[in-house]
Amino acid sequence: MKPVMTTGGKRLSVVGIIVFEREKSAVRVNEILSRFSELIIGRMGIPYRERGISVIALIVDATTDELGALTGQLGRVPGVKVKSAVTA
* Positions of the chain with pLDDT lower than 50, given as ranges: none
Can you give the residue ranges of every domain in the chain? Answer: 21-86
Q: What is the pLDDT of residue 71?
A: 98
* Residue 35 backbone phi and psi in degrees, to 5: -65, -30
In whole numbers, what is the pLDDT of the chain averaged over residues?
A: 93
pTM over 0.75: yes
- Spatial distance between the Cα atoms of 11 and 63, rounded to a whole number of angstroms: 6
Top-level class of domain 21-86: alpha beta
Instruction: Answer for the pair 8, 65: CB distance below 8 angstroms, yes or no.
Output: no
